[in-house]
Every structure is written in structure tokens, then in C-alpha cells.
Amino acid sequence: MLWTKQSLKDRIQDIIGDRMLIIASNREPYVHIHKEGKIEYIQPVGGAVTALDPVMKVCKGTWVAYGSGNADKEVVDKKNEVGVPPDNPKYKLRRIWLNKDEENGYYYGYSNKAMWPLCHMAYTRPAFDEVDWAYYKIVNKKFADTILNVVGNKKAFVWIQDYHLLLLGKLLKEKNKNLLTAHFLHIPWPNTEAFRICPQKREILKGLLANDLLGFHIRYHCANFMETVKLEMEARVDTEKTSVTYGGHEVFIRAFPISVDFEEISDAAQSKDTAKAVKKLKDEFSINDGLFVMAGLDRIDYTKGIIEKVRAVDRFFEKFPEYKGKVLFIQKGGLSRMHIPEYKNLNEELNGLVEEVNWKHSTEKWAPILFIRKHMTRKEIIALYKIADACIVSPVHDGMNLVCKEYIAAKKDLNGALILSRFTGAARELDGAIFVNPYSREDFARAIKKAIELPRAEKQKRMRRLRSVVKENNIYKWAGKFLEELKRI
């Protein structure tokens, strides 16, 4: 059966019954900001929001998240709630306020200096700071208190997202045994060797094991998690049922590969609005027709392999100078986590590298890399995918990666090639991509040439295959399967 927005809508009542649906995540799906004397809203950059917003529009319920916008407080009601999407509300957003110390310790500190590098194993050393950990616990408790307040004495299903809230399942269950809780990890789960260095590992595992269902993108992450539990806890690990029983409570571990709203992106890419946005983008950045455009779209993060991508572009023009003046690389890079030194340094390194590569290869009328830094709307992003004859997704490690799936969805005309790192969760599904090891410049440079020279028929064949995978494994299937599994439990 093909899952669609409508089929999820039709079945959601049957699946969740009379329970309230609550999503808990660090990032909010809509951020209100002051701009030129007015209050506007933006959709923040990030995979979890891209994936879950369409699901919540269908399932309704309440999304609990940290209110990070400078105008957020001005639009909420007494309960700190606001209907979203702001133009046409479909569900409620309940905002939690954090002070500077909390944001610093919980978000920049423990979440992103400890857990993020720990789970990605990208050769950036995790830093476990006791003060950060203390704030991490405080903020997880804040989320728990808010959710318990939203639920009151009703029945509810709480769907916890990601590595910022690893203790939440346990905190909720301790106070309300009747809650059904599930936790989905958007990032990889590392192997036992990597995880064992974490000083807070037992508390984190206890937090996760209190849930009823644990979801990861791929089976490999599930297996890593089960191995970790086997090694670290006195728990019964059942590999047949893929469940863990700890302290008399059984939690099921399952893989749910996350995805995108295929139909919505595919249709939007064909729309007149997108055609206008394409023209605007081309004018704004002087993108000449006739160039072969390769695009990348990432948060500036050391896991995304952006440095590796730019180095491969450099090598490509060294090896194949005949392509100078004919190929343009557009990299859209959104600033991210700039209060963490590694991110600030990466951003500076990237600036320097792009400048150097551009200087080295440019001609009077052409430079190889166009680095776009401004925040783009969804419409502009789809326009960028439309313009791109190929897309390069090259993380050194990524839980799933949605950019490659969005690109595929936007290529209804089949006119696009995908270069994809083997170290993304998506690589397990996307047969038809040109796979690369981003650590190998030579391999990467050759893959770029291959993408450019792919014969038309071959390109279309590959894209057709890719589209059929993403069409079937879309975001509604991800959500539907997840919720059905929870119901079954």
C-alpha cells in the first residue's frame, strides 16, 4: 500500500484512538522574529522539523519545543501556546523558555559538544562537562513538567525526538505510568567502543530504556544500541524480538528510515511559483544558463563533509581543467551552532578554502564555487534543486540525510544525478546514486566527472529508480509505520 497524506489522515484516529498526540523536540517548527518593525515567522533549518511538520499537520496534537525566536513570547497565549502554521493553524505549538545558562549548558554544551560528536564519530572529540550535564538534566525536567501539564489526566502518546531529550522518557514514566512514550533518534547510534567513553552513559541508557518504543533510522543503529545495552546494563536483550527488558519494563527497538513529503515537493517543483523562484535565484546570483550546475545544501557542520566537497571540487578542476568555465558548484551553507568553537572554526576554514579554490581556478568571467549563505525559504530551496543538474551530498557520517531525498523528489523531469556519501543512512536505500567516500579526494573528483558525463538515458534510468524508492518510502509511511508499531505494542 502506498502511504499518502490522505491515508495517514484516514488511519490516524484508528491508530492513536483517544490518546492525545504530543511531540517533544528541542527545535520548534516555526520561529517568530522581529523584522523591520513587524513580527514574521521562519521555518528553521533542520531535518527533524522538515520531516515532522507535515506529519503534525495531519495528526494534529501539540508540539512542545524550546521557543528560540526573539518575538516568540509576543504571539503565545497564557499557556505559552500558539497555533501553527501561523497562516493556517493545524496544530498547537507549546513553547518552553530557556535562560542563557540553560541554553548554553543543555544545547550548546551537553547536546552539541558531547552527544553530537559522540554519536557521529567524526573525529571531533566529545567534551563532557559536568555543568553542561547539570543543565541538560534541568532542561529535560522542564520538558517533562510542561508535557505532564499539557496532558493533565488525559491519555496521551508522547513522541520524543532526538539527542537533546534522552532523559525525557524516564522522567515522564516516573510521573505517569499510563503515558505511552516513544523516542526517535535522528542521528546515528555509535558502536560500543565509541559510546563506552561517555561518563553519563548509564543515566542516558536508563532514560531511553524507560520508553515503550525506540526508533532509529537504520538497523545498523539498532544493532549498535542493543550491543551497547548488552555491554553496559544488567538487562535482557532479546535479538529475536529486538527488544530490551530493563527493570521489568520491555522496550522495542525498530528501524524507521525517515523521509520527505515526496508528492508535495514533486508537485511544488513543477509549479509556476517555482519557475518564478528559479528565475529570481538565477538573476540574484547571476547563474548563467548553459552552465552545468551542481548543488549542495547543508547546515555548516563538520559531519556534513563540506570541506571534503570543496577539496574534491578543487581536485576535479586540477584533474579535468577542460571543465573550467562550464561547471558551477553552488553550495548553500546555513550557519549553525556558532557559539561552539569547532563550528566557528569550520566556518572560517570554509570561507578561506572557498576563496582559495575560486582564486586558483577562476577565469575572468567565471569562478567555480558560488557559496550562498542567506537563509532560504522552502520555495527557494526547491528552486535550487530545480536548477541543479546534479546534487552532491557528502557527509562523513549522517543519520539519514534529507537533502538527497528532497532533490530526488524535485526531479520529476528525471534530469538530475545524485552523488551520495556511503556514510549516510540514505545510502542504504538509494540505489541509483553515484556513491562516494568523501575521505577520498580522487574517488570524489572522479564521481563528479561521472555525474557530469552520465549519458541521458542512464541518468533518467537512475533517477526513475531513485524516485520510486522515495515515493514509496515517504514521510507518511515513516510516521504511519511508527505509530502503528506503537499501537501494536
Q: Which of the stretches 26-34, 128-136, 319-327, 376-384 binds ligand GDG when contact is defined by CB under 6 A?
A: 376-384
| Residue 375 contacts ligand GDG per CB under 6 A | yes
Rounded to a whole number of angstroms, the minimum distance from the CB of residue 406 to ligand GDG is 5
The nearer residue to ligand GDG, 51 or 179, going by C-beta atoms, is: 51
Q: Figure out which of the listed residues 45, 198, 251, 470 binds ligand GDG, where binding follows CB under 6 A.
A: 45
CB-side neighbour CA atoms (13 Å) of 427 = 20
| Residue 258 contacts ligand GDG per CB under 6 A | yes
| Residue 325 contacts ligand GDG per CB under 6 A | no
d(CA 369, CA 287): 11
Give me the sign of the Cα torsion angle 105, 106, 107, 109. Answer: positive
Q: Which of the stretches 189-197, 281-289, 396-404, 409-417 binds ligand GDG when contact is defined by CB under 6 A?
A: 396-404
d(CA 2, CA 107): 38
d(CA 175, CA 149): 11
Give the closest residue to 48 by CA, choosing from 110, 106, 111, 98.
111
Q: Which of the stretches 129-137, 244-252, 349-357, 392-400 binds ligand GDG when contact is defined by CB under 6 A?
A: 392-400
d(CA 329, CA 417): 14
- Helix locations, 154-291, DSSP H: 168-175, 192-195, 201-209, 219-232, 262-269, 272-284
| Residue 29 contacts ligand GDG per CB under 6 A | no
How many of the chain's residues bind ligand GDG (CB under 6 A)? 24
Residues 6+ apart with CB under 8 A from 25: 48, 49, 52, 63, 64, 65, 160, 161, 162, 164, 165
d(CA 159, CA 165): 11
The nearer residue to ligand GDG, 26 or 176, going by C-beta atoms, is: 26
C-alpha grid cell, residue 442: 580522487
Q: Which of the stretches 171-179, 203-211, 398-406, 477-485 binds ligand GDG when contact is defined by CB under 6 A?
A: 398-406
- Helix locations, 60-165, DSSP H: 72-75, 100-102, 116-120, 130-151
Q: Which helix (H) or strand (E) holds 436?
A: strand 434-436
Residues of span 293-312 touching ligand GDG by CB under 6 A? 297, 299
Q: Which of the stretches 44-52, 69-77, 121-129, 170-178 binds ligand GDG when contact is defined by CB under 6 A?
A: 44-52
Rounded to a whole number of angstroms, the minimum distance from the CB of residue 391 to ligand GDG is 11
Q: Figure out which of the listed residues 401, 421, 473, 474 binds ligand GDG, where binding follows CB under 6 A.
A: 401
Strand order in the sheet with 20-24: 81-84, 91-96, 62-66, 20-24, 156-161, 180-184, 213-216, 249-255, 243-246, 236-238
| Residue 403 contacts ligand GDG per CB under 6 A | yes
Q: Figure out which of the listed residues 402, 417, 427, 483 binds ligand GDG, where binding follows CB under 6 A.
A: 402
The nearer residue to ligand GDG, 325 or 334, going by C-beta atoms, is: 334
147 to 154, 156, 165, 182: CA distances (angstroms): 12, 10, 13, 14
As a 3-state breakdown, the chain gives helix, strand, coil percent values, each rounded to 5, of 50, 20, 35
The 109-148 contact track toward ligand GDG, x by CB under 6 A, reads ----------------------------------------
The nearer residue to ligand GDG, 243 or 303, going by C-beta atoms, is: 303
Residues of span 174-233 touching ligand GDG by CB under 6 A? 186-187
Amino acid at 75: V
Rounded to a whole number of angstroms, the minimum distance from the CB of residue 180 to ligand GDG is 21
Q: Figure out which of the listed residues 293, 398, 420, 433 binds ligand GDG, where binding follows CB under 6 A.
A: 398
CB atoms within 10 A of CB 149: 11
| Residue 47 contacts ligand GDG per CB under 6 A | yes
Rounded to a whole number of angstroms, the minimum distance from the CB of residue 49 to ligand GDG is 8
Q: Which of the stretches 41-49, 64-72, 146-154, 341-349 binds ligand GDG when contact is defined by CB under 6 A?
A: 41-49
Amino acid at 234: E
Q: Figure out which of the listed residues 50, 176, 228, 473 binds ligand GDG, where binding follows CB under 6 A.
A: 50
C-alpha grid cell, residue 124: 571531533
| Cα dihedral 259→262→264→266 (10° resolution) | 140
The nearer residue to ligand GDG, 181 or 401, going by C-beta atoms, is: 401
| Residue 7 contacts ligand GDG per CB under 6 A | no
Instruction: Kindly list the residues in this chain that would bind ligand GDG in the complex (CB under 6 A).
Output: 43, 45-48, 50-51, 186-187, 258, 297, 299, 334, 375-376, 378, 381, 398-403, 406
